Amino acid sequence: MAKTALVTGAGSGIGRASARLLAQAGWRVALVGRRRDALEAAAAECGAGALVLPCDIAKPDEVEAIFVEVAKEFGRLDLLFNNAGRGSPPKDIDETSLEDWFGVVDANLHGSFLCARAAFALMRRQAPKGGRIINNGSISAYAPRPGSVPYTVTKHAITGLTKTLSLDGRKHDIAVGQIDIGNALTEMAQKMTEGVPQADGSIRIEAVMDPEHVAQSVLHMASLPLESNVLFMTVMATKMPFVGRG
């Protein structure tokens, strides 16, 4: 029987590339995101059987409904790629709008918590029990960029979520890991090619990488047997300013 995966933020970027690669590897995939048109375009790349599930992951009722649908259509869930997220314009904390703060926290933290919660509940009760959750962290979980309070705070929180679920999941055969990504050339990272603020106050263009390379890493993590787990993996553009940042 083919394994099943649910990918959030699947309409574009890393989520879309990961869903496509999982499907090519024989997985049945459910694609989650806010825009139906983008999800349907991504599903067309995944072949027959891809499940399109429009959802605002910050809304508990909507999240609950999509996991009910996955259980109904697939019978089980083997992988959640908790990928969806957003950033905000680089600003000092006192210049950061409350709209941006709550928007980033909703997407990056509340959404990841709600999806992990629903996936955990399904995985521990299905037969055979177990599965894998991969959280999308960031190298900002280790070293912040200037003016990135909302994003950096939420990505540190994702690391806490990963560690705790990795521990709590053991008794249920649920493996939990995190992929920390640097400068994959998605829509959100397009600004890297135009110049972004550095710790020394300068504005510089940064090296980027193809999101397909992240998807290959996600597939590797997902393909391991449940007795093995990549707890943290960093995948980054080789020449970006992370090691030695500042």
User: Which residues carry out catalysis?
Assistant: 151
Report the phi/psi class of residue 199: left, alpha or beta, with left for phi > 0 and alpha for psi in -120 to 50.
alpha
Q: Which of 162, 156, 158 is nearest to 175 (CA)?
A: 162
**Look-up: residue for tokens 């574009």?**
12
Report the alpha-carbon distance of residue 246 to residue 242 in Å, rounded: 8
Q: φ and ψ at 207, to 5 degrees?
A: -65, 145
Which H or E run includes 110? none
Instruction: Measure the CA angle with vertex 135, ends 49 and 19; round to 5°.
Output: 25
The answer to whether the beta carbons of residues 138 and 155 sit under 8 Å apart is yes
